[in-house]
Amino acid sequence: MTGSSGAMATPARGFLRDLRRLTLFTVKRLAALFLTVLVGVYLTILIANMGGQVDELRMVQIQSTVAEQVRADPAFFDLSPQERNALIERRVQLDVERLRLDQPFIVRSVDYLQQAIRLDLGRAEHMHSDRGAREVYWIIVERLPATLLLFGTANLLVFFASVFIALGLSRRYGSALDRSVIALAPSSAAPGWFYGIFLILIFAFLIPILPAGGMVDVPPPEGTLAYAASLLRHMLLPVAAMFLSTIFISIYSWRTFFLIHSSEDYVEMARAKGLPSRMIERRYVLRPTLSPIITSFALMLIGLWSGAIILEQVFNWPGLGTLLFQAIGHRDTPVIIGTVVIFAYLLAVTVFLLDILYALLDPRVRVGTG
């Protein structure tokens, strides 16, 4: 805190110092997070291979497909059994070398790690993107916007709605509305997909007004406007499901939070001074609580990335979650690892943004005592 009085004297220098500290902080956090991602991704690779069990599975698969191919090929019909076996063996060997299954797993895992970090996720073994690319990177990139669209929309909606409703409720603490919203909080024990099933049941089967799944109509409508309208119709139910499952619990926690903070002495003081309640809310309640608000927003994001898989599956939404599920069905290891890596990256980016926001909001980081 020694430098703060000097900073007050010359704001420009203070700003520069803040910037320098912020940059330093950012670089430090980036380095730490990079290490974290490194370890996380490596663990993922280890789990995905679990001591080479998957490799054995793939070996068996290679052997059977190669044997099948050679037996079915008329060009090899007049080979003697020995020659044919030799041919099969040679081809298996080629495939093993192509997939580098002949090297010990530890060597390969470091290689996988290196590639994963560079986002060079390799080629899928069975799957391909809708445009026909075999690169895992493209398969994932194609699905990413769908996930981001759905979950971005739902999260922003829940976040802003809950903060504003909670502020309103904390003002009317103890009213009938307040009590009924709080009584609904336990309903958030169920995840989004659970509400999704009910919404599908009601709005797609009992009163068929909305589509039960998918992202746009089949075939996709011509024209941007019609496309957007169709997209919106398909998004309505999954977003509603996520909204329903999280809104009451987040209102509840925000309301408690605001209540605690609006009973602080400095807020009472502001009230005693006769400041308008809007101003009290903005300056005395919201401002000091901003960093916890943002933390919880980011933590919610982190939680929802995982929830994505099942919600997408239930609504047949062509995003990352559905992709992971399909990849698992095909036992396509590169795609599985790729998806998990991307999930890890998304989480890391969330954590990083959270840190930066923290630094911007928390004066302690700027003055270097944090």
Contact with other proteins (CB under 8 A) among 84, 91, 233, 331: 331
Burial of 273 (0-12, 13-18, 19+ CB in 10 A): exposed
Contact with other proteins (CB under 8 A) among 260, 269, 279, 353: 260
Does residue 251 contact residue 162 with C-beta atoms inside 8 Å? yes
CA gap 55, 321 in Å, rounded: 24
Residues 6 or more apart in contact with residue 102 via CB below 8 angstroms: 96
Residues 6 or more apart in contact with residue 366 via CB below 8 angstroms: 18, 21, 22, 359
Contact with other proteins (CB under 8 A) among 147, 155, 326, 339: 339
The residue (of 62 and 336) whose beta carbon lies closer to other proteins is 336
Long-range contacts, 63-71 (Cβ 8 Å, 24+): 63/88, 63/92, 66/91, 66/92, 66/95
Find the binding residues for other proteins in span 288-327 (CB under 8 A). Answer: 299, 302, 305-307, 309-310, 313-314, 324-325
CA gap 53, 102 in Å, rounded: 14
Min dist CB 118 to other proteins, Å, is 18
The residue (of 157 and 310) whose beta carbon lies closer to other proteins is 310
The secondary structure of 283-322, three-state, reads: HHHHHHHHHHHHHHHHHHHHHHHHHHHHHHHHHCCCCHHH
First to last CA, the chain: 11
Find the binding residues for other proteins in span 146-165 (CB under 8 A). Answer: none
Q: Is the peptide bond before 219 cis (omega within 30 degrees of 0)?
A: yes
285 lies in the binding site for other proteins (CB under 8 A): no
The residue (of 255 and 366) whose beta carbon lies closer to other proteins is 255
CA gap 7, 17 in Å, rounded: 9
54 lies in the binding site for other proteins (CB under 8 A): yes
240 lies in the binding site for other proteins (CB under 8 A): no
Binding mask 171-200 for other proteins (x = CB under 8 A): --x---------x-xxxxxxx-xx--xx-x
Min dist CB 67 to other proteins, Å, is 24
Contact with other proteins (CB under 8 A) among 69, 328, 364, 369: 328
119 lies in the binding site for other proteins (CB under 8 A): no
208 lies in the binding site for other proteins (CB under 8 A): no
32 lies in the binding site for other proteins (CB under 8 A): yes
CA gap 116, 123 in Å, rounded: 12
Tell me which residues touch other proteins (CB under 8 A). Answer: 32-33, 36-37, 39-40, 43-44, 47-48, 50, 53-54, 173, 183, 185-191, 193-194, 197-198, 200-201, 205, 252, 256, 259-260, 263, 299, 302, 305-307, 309-310, 313-314, 324-325, 328-329, 331, 336, 339-340, 343-344, 347-348, 351
